[in-house]
Structure 1
Amino acid sequence: MRSKMDLSWLEKKDYRVITDESDFDAVFEEMHKYKLFGFDTETTGLNIFNLSRDNQMRDQLVGICMSWKRNQGIYLPFEHTRFKNLDKKYVLRKLGPFLESRNLVLHNGMYDGKVMYQEGILLNIVHDTRTLYFNIDSNVSRGSKGLKALSERMYGYPIIEFEDIFDTSSDYGLFRVLPEDLVKSYACADPDHTLQLFIDSFGFLTEGQRRSYALDMKLERELVRSEYYGKGVDMKLCKEFSGYNDENLERLSDAIYRYVHYLVCKKRNFDYSDSKYIFSISSSDELAHLFYNLLGYKVLKVHEDTGRPSVDKFVLKSMLREEEPGMDEFEENLLNTIERSSLEKAGYDWLSDGDKILIDRKKFNTYKYKLPYLIQVWRKLEKDKTSFYAKLLDNNYEGKFFSDISQTSTQTARLTDFIQTLVGSLKHLIVPYNPDTQYFIDFDFAQIEYRVMAGLSGIDWLVERLKDPEADYHREGGSIIVGKAPEDITKSERSSLKSVNFGIPYGMSAKGIMENRYGIGLPPVEREKRLKEIQDLLSTWESKLYQIADMLNSYRDKAITPVDGRLLKGPLKGKKIGRIDNPLGRSRVFYLDKMDESDVASIRRQAGNYPIQSFAREIYSMAIVRLCAALKKHGLIDIKVPDETMPSGYRLENKVVIIAYIHDECLLNVDKDVSPNLIQKLIYDNCMIELKGHPNYYCGINVVTNWHEGKEDAYEAPVKYAKWVSENYDDLIKTYSPECCQRDFVFDQIKDYMTKRVAEEICKFVPDVFKTKVLYLDRVVSRFKNYFVKPKISSFWPLWREVLDSSKQSPDMYKNDVTKDLCKNAGFDYDDYTAVLLETYLLAVLGELDVVYPNGYRKHYEQHGVSGKAISLVRESVSDREASLLQEQEGDAVDGTDSEVKPIESSNTKILTEVFSAISKDMDNDDVLRLG
C-alpha cells in the first residue's frame, strides 16, 4: 500500500486492533468517559438484508470500528482468519446497550445501521457526515461526498478505501483474510476521520441548515429498518412478467435493427434489402456513431471530460421535441409488429389499455426522429430486466426486492428508491411479505405541492378553503381564474387548470403546458387553438394568483444573486454562489461562475420549483418521523425479543414495516393481528400536518392486498372517515377479527360512511326524502353539485340504469326520452348524470322511490335487481366510472342476460332512515322552501 499511496499520515495516529477481552474491557471502561463516538462496521459483503440466517446470500458482521478522540481509533475483530478475534457474543452483549444510548457519528450510516439491526442492536445514529455535507451543498455528483474525498479536501491526504485494496466490490469478502496491520490502517481510519469531519464541519451549517439536518437525521434512523426489510414480491407473477419483458426486448431489438438498416439505406441512397444493422443498443459509443456519423443527427450535447457526443436520456428527450407527423409504408409496417405489448397475452382483467401498448402509435407517428423513441423504450425495458427482474430471479432473496433508499440523491432532498420506477401493472408485483398473514396500507398526501404553493404565497382565502379535507386545489384556486363557482368548473376546465398549476413552478412555457395537457401531434389548426387557450389561461392565472407568481419570482431572483462572501464557510468559502432556503431552512446552492443566458434560465426554472418540492418533502418527512414514533409507542416496530441464539441476546421484530417511500406516498406492510383501524388512527393523528398560515396537509389512506390496489380511488378512505375512525377506535377494535379480509373490512366501513355522507348532502335540498321516499327533481338535481361527494356514488353503488336489462328485468325503468321532455316542458335544465346518481343511491338505500317532475308528474320505481356484472363495477375507480358513463349514449344499458340476477343490498336502510329522520327534524318547511 505504501508503494501505491502516501501513508505518512498514519505515523501520528493511535490506531489499535483489540484482540484480547481484557484489552476490550479496558477500552470499554475508557469509552464511558466520552459522549461522542465515530462508528463504522466491516462486513463480508453488501447484502445486509432481512434473509434467513442460513441463506448464503446474507452477509455478516466481521468487525466494529470506533473512535472517540482525534487521531485515535480501535477495531474489534470477529471473523478474521490471519489474527486473533474477539468473542462476538461477549463484545456485543456489553457493547450493545452502549451503542443504543451514546451519540454516534457515522458516514453513510444507513448501511452500518442495517448491519447492527441484523445483530439485534438499534444504533443511536445522531450524526452522519455524508448527510451533513449534503445539507451544506445539495449539488449531487458521484463521489463528491464520499469519506475519502471529504477527508482529503479537509486534511490534505487520502485515507485508504476498499477500492485501494481490491479491484472490485465482489472481493469484499476477502477483507477477512487481510493482515492485521493493513486491517488496522484501513478500518480505524474511517471512524477517526468521520468523527473529526463532524467536529470540524458542523459549524459550516447555517441556522436553517441545522434544522433540516436535524430532520434528516431523525428520518435516517427510520429508513434503516425499511431498507433492511426490502419489499415483498409476487414471484410467480414476477417470472411471468419477466418473460413478457424479455419478449418485448427481443421484438423491439429486432425492430430497431431492421429500422436502422432501413434508415441508413435511405440516408445513403442505397437500395433497401430486407436485412438488419446489428449493433449493441446498450453501447453509448456505438449508438453515438450511429446517430451522428451514419444518420447525421445534430449533436446536442457533449461529455465535458472527453468532448465526445452524448446519447444520454436528456439528448433523447431533446430529440423527441421535434415533430414531423407521418409514417411511410416501412414505418407503418414496422409499427404494426411492435405496437402491442407481449404483456397483453397475460389476459388479466386489471391490465389497463396502456399496459397493453409497447410503442405508442400517436407518438411514433408524430416524432421527427422516431429511432430515439424506440431506444428510449428499449432502455426502460432493459433497466427493468437488469435492475429488477434479474436481481430477483438470479438471486435467492426469498421473494424480496432490496434497493437503496436515499435522501441525498436529489437536490430537493426528496427520497429516491428504485421502486419508484415501477409503473402501471408492475405495481401488482409488490405484495406483503406473507399475503396469508399480512396486508398493505398505502397513504398518500393529497395535492401536497399545490397546498404548499398556496401556503408559501400567503393567499389567505385559498388557504382557508383548502383547510376543508374535501377541497380540491384546482377547483378552489381555479374558480377565481375561470370566474365560476368551484363546483361548476367542468372536467375539461379542471384539466387545463391542472396543467397550468403544474407547469408554473417549473417555469414551463405555454407550449410545454399545452403539450403536457393535450399531447403532441395535434393538427396545426387545433394546435394553435389550444396554444392560444393556454396562453390566455396563463395570463389570467398570473393576474389573479399574482401572489404565487411573486413568490416564485422572488426565489428565482435570489438564486442568481451572489451571496455575500463573508457569510460563506467551509467548502463554499470563496465561491460565487446563489443560495435559496425553504421555510424550514434547507438550502439549495447555485454556482454562478461563467453563467450564460441558458444557465440563468436553467437556474431560474430550478429555483422556482425548489421551495415547493423541498418543503413538501419536509412535511412528508415530519409525518413519517411522527408516525414511526407512534408505532414505537404502540409496540409495533423495533420490538426487542430476547433470543439466546443471537450474539447480542436479542433480535428485532416488527408488526409494521414502512417498505417504500414513493414521492408523497408511503407503503406499509402490516401483520393481520394489527387492526387496520389502528394504523388509520395513527396516520390520521400523526400525518395530517397543520402549520400556521398553511392549508392543512391531508392523507388519503388505502387498505389493500397489493400496491396496485393502493392507487385505486375506490379504496381510498376519505379524511373525514379517518377522523371518525380516530375518534371511535375503542369501539371499532371490538368488531375486528384478524381472519377477515382487511381490505374488504375497511371498504365496508368506508361505504357505510359514504352512505351517510351522501345523505347529508341530499338532505340539504330534500331533507324529508328518507321518510317520504319521494324525490323532487327540481329541488335537488341542479343543486347537487358537491364535487367530492357526487362522484363517490358511482364508486360504491353500481349505476343501476347502466347495468339493468331494461327489456326483461326492469320494465318500469327510467326512460330518458320521457324525462327529458317532461323537464324541457317545465323549463327545467335536466342533468341525466346527476339524476342517475340520485336514483342509484336512493334506490339502493330505500328499496323504492317516487320521483316527482317539475310539472307534477309522479312515477314510482322499485329495485328490480342488478346483473352479476354490476357487482364487479362496485370497486372501479371514481374517475374511470364517471368518464365511462359520460361517454355512453343516454339510455344505454349493460346487457346482463347471461349473469345471475341478485337483489341490491339495502341492509343499511333502517339505520339510515333513523339517522336521516334526525337530520330532517332540524329543518322545517321554511328551510325546504328556501332551499327549493
Structure 2
Amino acid sequence: MTRLVLIDGSSYLYRAFHALPPLTNSAGEPTGALFGVVNMLRATLKERPDHIAFVVDAPGKTFRDDLYPQYKANRPPMPDELRAQVQPMCEIVHALGIDILRVEGVEADDVIGTLAVRAADAGMEVTISTSDKDFAQLVREPGVGGGSVALVNTMSGSRMDSDAAVAEKFGVPAARIVDLLALMGDAVDNVPGVDKCGPKTAAKWLGQYGSLDGVMGNAAAIKGKIGENLRAALERLPLNRTLVTIKTDVALECTPQSLRLREPHVDDLRALYTRYGFNQALKELEAGSVAAGAGIAAVAEKEPGRARSSGFVAAQVAVPEGLDPALATPGRYEAVTEAGHLEAWIAVLRNAGRFAFDTETDSLDPMRANLVGLSFAAEPGRAAYVPLGHDYPGAPPQLDRARALDLLRPLLEDASVAKLGQHGKYDLHVMRRHGVALAGYADDTLLESFVLESGNARHDMDSLARRHLGYETKKYEEVAGKGAKQIPFSQVSVEDATFYAAEDADITLRLHRVLAPRLAAEPALEAVYRDIEMPLVPVLERIEANGVKVDVDELRRQSADLSRRMLAAQQRATELAGRAFNLDSPKQLCALLFEELKLPALVKTPKGQPSTNEEALEAIADQHELPRVILEYRGLAKLRGTYTDKLPEMVDPDTGRVHTSYHQAGAATGRLSSSDPNLQNIPIRTEDGRRIRRAFVAPPGRKLVACDYSQIELRIMAHLSQDAGLLRAFESGADIHRATAAEVFGRPLEEVTANERRAAKAINFGLMYGMGAFGLARQLGIGRGQAQDYIALYFSRYPGVRDYMERTREQAREHGYVETVSGRRLYLEYIRGGTQAQRAGAERAAINAPMQGTAADIIKRAMVEVDGWLAGQRDASGRSPALMILQVHDELVFEADEAFVPALLEGVGERMVSAARLTVPLVVDSGVGDNWDEAH
C-alpha cells in the first residue's frame, strides 16, 4: 500500500524546543529545536515513505478568527530563541526534498485533514506525525478497498491507529472526539468549554447520551454545579464544535499523489549540518543515507528590513502577524535644545493626555545617578530627546537642567496626565532625586508583560520589542561602547544619544499599544496589573529611597568572628582528611571524598559526575564528619562574603544607609525579590543569620517594628482546599501544627509530643511544596514506609487537601497554568510534556504556586494600603513618624518614632489583616526592638 506521511510542522517545532535543553553551535546560535527535529525527521525518513509533506500555518487570519475573534488570542508569542531557528529549519526541510505546504485562510490542521481523508479514500496508508490531540478525530482503521489514517508521535514513539486506541486514551471513539473537545474547550486555542468539565466528565456524558447533541438535549437532567455550568455553556457549544472540527474539504493545488519525496540537495544539507554541528547527521549524509537529513518549517521569515532615521539604522525582524504596521516601522526623532522647542513639546504631551518617558543617566544605581537627559513620546514613531548633561568637548549648547526641569515640573507632577514607562521605578527615583515628584505613573510595559506572561524570563525592552513588534532596538553598547572602552552617557554625542534615548520612549509607547489590549481582554489579569502591580511601583520606590541603617562596626566584628571560625573549620577539615586541601575546590573535594575516603556519590552533576553541592554533602554527612565540617565552612563563608563583608561597602555615602532594589518581575509567582543587597536570603533559623539582622538598627529616638503574617501559606491552603479540619483548626486559634498532630496521630491536643508536632509541621509545609515520602523521611530521619504512613494518615484526616491537590493538578494539565486567589496566572511549562522529572516538578509547582502567589498578592496589597495610611500621618513639614524600610517574604519592617509605635502596630496590623478576605482569618505577629533581630 502506498504510504503518505503528513508532518505537523508546528508540533515538531514546539515539541523539539521544549523537550531539549537550550543548545547552541560554536557560533552561539541556538540549535536545540533544530537538533530535536533532526532526530525526529531522521526517524521518519528511515521509514522510507512514498509521499511526504511538511505542513505549517500560513500568516494571516483564518475562517475561525472570523467566526470567533478571540480564537487563539491568549497564545503567547514565539520565544526569541525559537524564532531564530525557524528559517534554518525551513532551509533544512527544503534541502531534504520535502514539500512545505501553507494555505491562506485555514490552519495547517485543515490542510493535513484534507490530504489525509483524500489519501485514505484513494486507498493510501496515511501517517500524521504530530502530538496534537485534535487529530484523533481523523483516525481511521483500514477498510475494504480503503486506506487508513494513523497518528504517530515521533518523539514519544506512541501510535494511535484504531478506535480502540483512541478510546483507550480519550474515553471515546474517533467519531466523538470533536464532541469531546467541544465540551472540554481548548485553553491553548482560547476556546472556552464547559467550566470544570475535563476529559473524564466529557467522556462520561458522551457515553451516557451518545453525542454532543444528546448531551445538550439532556442538560436539564445533569445535576449539581457541573450541570449548571453545562447549561450556562449551551449557547456556545455549537460554535465550539465548528472551531475544533478539522476541515477536510480545503481547496488545494496539490494532491496526495503529487507529494513525492524528492532527492535531497546534498551540498545544501552538508553546509547546514556543518554550520549547526549536527555531526551524526553529517556522517550519515556523507555515507549516502537519505535519512540523514533533518529540519523543520513554521513560518517563513521575511528578510530583515532596515530604515534610516536620525543618522542611525534601525533593524527590524519579522513583523508579528496582525500587528499595526505603524507599530513596527522606524520613527522620527528630534533633539530639543531650546526652551521654546521644549514648551511646544510640553503642549503636545499635555494634549495627548498620556505619554511615554524615559531618563538617561550616568549610573545604574538610581540613588547615585545624575540626570543626563529625558525622552518623550506621545504617538508611535515620533519622539524627542532633551539633552541636559552631555559634557564632551565640542558638545552643542543644551538647556540648563534646572531651567528645563522647571518647565517640565507642572506636567510631570500633574496626576491627570498619564505617564508610562519601562521599569519606571528607576525613573521615579531619578526624578525624585532631581526635585520632581512625578505623579500619574499609570502604566509600565515591563509589568504588563510580566502579568501577561509570568512564565517568560525576559521582560526587558529589547526582548519585548523583538517579541511583540518584530523590532531590533539600538543597544547601549552601540552608542557608548563596551568593556574597558565604554564611556558614560554624558560623553555620548547628542546625535547618537537622541536616536537611542528617543527610541526607548517610542518603543515603550508602541509596546503599551500592543500589550494593553491583551490585558483588557483578560479582566482577571488586568485587575492584578491595575490593583496590585501598578500601585506598588511608587511604594517600592519610597521603600528603596528610605533605606535601612546598618551598624558597620557590628558587621566588622561579625566578619572577624566568622573568619576565625572559618579558619577553625579549615584546620578541623585538614585533621579529618589527614592532609591539606582546598575546601573551595570541587575537584579536590571529589578526589578526597569519593576516591580516597570511598564515600558514596549519591548526587550527580548533569554530566553524571559526583557532585559536591550542599545536597550531595548533606546526603553523606551521617557517614563521615568531614562533609559536615565542609558544610559549616561554606555556610560561614557565604555569610561573610554576602553580608558582613559586603554590607559596609554598600552604605550610601549621602544617606548613610543601605538601599536595596526590589524586583516585581523577578519570580513567576509574583514574589518580590531584592538585590544589591539581597535581603531575602538572610538565614532566620540560625544564630549567625540572626546576628546579621542585629546589624540592621534604628537611629536614636526610633525603633524598628516588624510585622509578619503568621503561617499565611497554610491559611491559604485551608481557604483553597476548604478542608473542614483545617478550617476548624484555624478558626479555633489553635497551634496548627499541634492540631494537625492531634488529628494525624489520633490523640488529644495536650498529649501531643514534641516529635509528633515536628512531624506534623514537616507534613504541613512539605505537602505545600510537593514533598513526597522520600523527602519527608529524610527530613524526619525515619523510614520511607513510615513517612508514607504519615502522609496517608494526614490525607485521611484532611481529605479536602488531597482533593484540592488532585483537582489542581488536573486543572494545570488542562489549562497549562494555575491561578492565585486574585487571578494571577502561573504558567507551568512542563505540565504536559518534557521529562518525567520536569513533569513532576511542574506538578509540585502547580500545588504550591497558587499559595505562594496568593501570599505575594496579599502582602503587595497590604504594602499599598499601609503606604497610603502612612502618607496621611505626615506633619506639616512632610516628615513621617514612621517609614516602611524592608519587605522580606511575609514580613514588613518599619522604622518609627518611639511614641508612634503603638499607633503603628495598630494601623499596620489592621491593614495587613484586611488585605484579603479568606475563609480563615489572617493573623499578624509583630515585634519591636532597637534592631531587626529584636523586632522579629
Contact preservation (8 Å) 1:15, 1:74: yes
Query: CA 1:419–1:103 in 2, change beyond 3 Å: closer, same or farther?
Result: same
| CA deviation string 1:39-98 (max 9, x = no partner) | 21111212332xxxxxxxx33222222211101222222222123222333332342342
Aligned to 2:83: none
Does the 8 Å contact 1:438/1:671 carry over to 2?
A: yes
* Map 1:390-539 → 2, pairs under 5 A: 390-392=649-651, 396=653, 399-417=656-674, 418-423=678-683, 424-428=687-691, 435-460=699-724, 462-463=726-727, 466-467=730-731, 470-518=733-781, 527-528=782-783, 533-539=786-792
> CA offsets per residue over residues 366-394 of structure 1, 9 Å max, x none?
xxxx75775565445433356435434xx
* Contact 1:108/1:129 (8 A) holds in 2: yes
The one of 345, 363, 377 equivalent to 1:27 is 345
2:821 to 580, 583, 586: 583
Aligned residues of 1:242 and 1:389 also touching (Cα < 8 A): no
Query: Given the alignment, which residue of 458, 464, 467 partners 1:150?
Result: 464
Larger RCO: Structure 1 or Structure 2 (Cα < 8 Å, ≥ 6 residues apart)? 1
Q: Deviations over 1:177-217 (max 9, x none)?
A: 11111110111111111111111012333322212222111
> Structure 1: how far apart are the matches of 2:435 and 2:465?
31
Q: 2:896 aligns with which of 661, 670, 693?
A: 670
Q: Which residue of 2 aligns with 1:222?
A: 539
Query: Match for 1:59: what amino acid?
Result: A
- Residue type at the aligned position of 2:423: N
- Following the alignment from structure 1 to structure 2, what is the Cα–Cα distance between the partners of residues 189 and 414? 31
Structure-1 residue corresponding to 2:882: 656
The alignment covers a number of residue pairs equal to 600
1:122 aligns with 2:472: no
2:529 corresponding residue in structure 1: 213
Shift of 1:319: 1.4
How far apart, in 2, do the equivalents of 1:655 and 1:509 lie?
48
Distance 1:421 1:377 in 2: 14
Cα deviation 1:889-912 (Å, max 9, x = unaligned):
xxxxxxxxxxxxxxxxxxxxxxxx
Is 2:502 aligned against 1:188? yes
Q: Partner of 1:860 in structure 2?
A: none
Instruction: Report matched runs for 1:94-113 at 5 Å.
Output: 94-100=407-413, 101=415, 102-113=417-428
Q: Residue deviations 1:628-670, cap 9 Å, x none?
A: 111122337xx8x6xxxxxxxxxx7544221111111110012
Rounded Cα–Cα distance in structure 1 between residues aligned with 2:359 and 2:604: 42
1:7 alignment partner, SS class: strand
- Cα deviation for residue 608 of structure 1 reads 0.9
- Paired letter, 1:87: D
The one-letter code sitting in structure 2 at the alignment partner of 1:607 is A
Work out the CA distance in 2 between the residues paired with 1:5 and 1:249: 55
Name the counterpart of 1:60. 370
SS at match of 1:669: strand
Aligned residue number for residue 595 of structure 1: 834
Alignment counterpart, residue 933 of structure 2, candidates 695, 708, 714: 708
How many angstroms does 1:485 deviate by? 4.5
Task: State how 1:32-111 maps to structure 2 within 5 Å.
Answer: 32-49=350-367, 58-81=368-391, 82-100=395-413, 101=415, 102-111=417-426
Given residue 666 of structure 1, which amino acid in structure 2 is its aligned partner?
Answer: L
Contact 2:644 2:692 in 1 (8 A): no
Given that 2:479 and 2:497 are in contact with CA atoms closer than 8 Å, whether structure 1 keeps it comes out as no
CA distance in 2, matches of 1:79, 1:107: 22
Residue type at the aligned position of 1:663: H
Alignment match, 1:683: 908
Closer, same or farther: CA 287–26 of 1 in aligned 2, 3 Å: farther
Give the deviation of 1:167 after TM superposition.
5.1
Structure 2: distance between partners of 1:31 and 1:310 = 62
Residues 280 and 533 (structure 1), Cα distance of their counterparts in 2 relative to 1, 3 Å cut: closer
Q: Which residue of 1 aligns with 2:643?
A: 384
Deviation of residue 134 (structure 1)? 1.6
Gaps of 5+ in 2: 1-305, 317-327
Match of 1:179 in 2: 493
SS of residue matched to 2:699: coil
Q: For 1:618 and 1:179, how far apart are their aligned partners in 2?
A: 44
Note the aligned Cα RMSD (angstroms): 3.6
Once the two structures are superposed, residues 261-317 of structure 1 have per-residue CA deviations (whole angstroms, 9 ceiling, x without a partner) of x96xxxxxxxx7x5x445964xx89989999999999696667xxx79797xxx714
- Are 2:828 and 2:842, in contact at CA under 8 Å, matched by a contact in 1? yes
Amino acid at match of 1:103: A
**In 1, distance between residues paired with 2:529 and 2:604?**
36
Q: Secondary structure at the match of 1:322?
A: helix
Q: Which residue identity lines up with residue 540 of structure 1 in the other structure? A: L
Measure, in 1, the Cα distance between the counterparts of 2:682 and 2:383: 44
Task: Please give the alpha-carbon distance, in whole angstroms, between the structure 2 residues aligned to 1:229 and 1:433.
Answer: 13
Matches within 5 A, 1:783-798: none
Contact 1:320 1:373 (C-alpha < 8 Å) held by counterparts: no
The sequence identity of aligned pairs, in percent, is 22
Alignment check: 8 A CA contact 2:562 2:637 kept: no
Q: CA separation in 2, counterparts of 1:324 and 1:254?
A: 18
Question: Displacement, 1:504?
Answer: 0.8
CA distance in 1, matches of 2:884, 2:487: 30
- Deviation (angstroms), 1:451: 0.8
**Which residue identity lines up with residue 341 of structure 2 in the other structure?**
D
* Partner Cα distance (1:694, 1:589) in 2: 26
Partners of 2:780 and 2:401 lie apart in 1 by: 61
Any idea what the Cα deviations from partners look like across 1:494-546, whole Å, max 9, x if unmatched?
2221111011111212232233345xxxxxxxx44xx5554333111101211
- Residue 204 of structure 1 aligns to a residue whose secondary structure is helix
2:336–2:385 CA contact under 8 A, matched in 1: yes
Q: After superposition, give the CA deviation of every residue in 1:793-816 in whole Å (9 maximum; x if it has no partner).
A: xxxxxxxxxxxxxxxxxxxxxxxx
Question: Which of 622, 626, 630 lines up with 1:325 in the alignment?
Answer: 622
Q: Secondary structure at the match of 1:127?
A: strand
Partner of 1:778: none
Instruction: Specify whether residues 145 and 472 from structure 1 end up closer, same or farther in structure 2 by C-alpha distance, changes over 3 A only.
Output: same
Which amino acid letter does the alignment assign opposite residue 616 of structure 2?
A: M
1:623 aligned to 845, 862, 867, which one? 862
Helix, strand or coil for the counterpart of 2:379? coil
Q: Which moved more, 1:508-517 or 1:67-76?
A: 508-517
Gap change, CA 1:619 and 1:486, over 3 Å in 2 = farther
* Matches of 1:191 and 1:287, distance apart in 2: 52
Change (3 A) 1:406 1:385: same
Change (3 A) 1:298 1:156: farther
Counterpart-to-counterpart distance in 2, 1:158 and 1:287: 46
Whether the aligned pair in 2 keeps the contact of 1:460 and 1:693 (CA below 8 Å) is: no
Q: Which amino acid aligns with 2:866?
A: L
The 1:164–1:488 alpha-carbon spacing in structure 2 relative to 1, beyond 3 Å, is: farther
Q: What TM-score do you get using the length of structure 1 for normalisation?
A: 0.59
Determine which of 474, 494, 497 is the counterpart of 1:160.
474
What is the rounded CA distance, in whole Å, between the counterparts of 1:490 and 1:280 in structure 2?
42
| 1:559 and 2:873 correspond | no
1:132 is displaced (CA, Å) by 1.7
User: Cα 1:163–1:373, aligned 2, differ >3 Å: closer, same or farther?
Assistant: farther
